Amino acid sequence: MKAFQAYGTGCNAVSATPRAAALKFFGMFPTKRKCDITEGDLDGNFFTVSYGRKSEGKWPQQFKDITKKLIHTLPE
């Protein structure tokens, strides 16, 4: 299943959209200043990222240095 992981130093949160992942991340870790978000696949408890082109010919989406003020700019 396609998912997005928001991660920072020593913590992460996974959700179905980039905006939801960022909201979940900052909700779980309110003292964190920023996070990065990467598109991948959620298989049970494992989040995997395919580096390189996927079978559809698209690269995984990535969003770098997302702060609480930039959450509204992320796609739903």
Q: How far apart are CA 69 and CA 26, in angstroms?
A: 11
pLDDT of res. 46: 94
Placement of tokens 């997302």 in the chain: 66
Instruction: Give the pLDDT of the chain (76 residues) as one tens digit per residue.
Output: 899 999 999 999 999 999 999 999 999 999 999 999 999 999 988 999 887 665 666 788 999 999 999 999 999 9
pLDDT of res. 12: 95
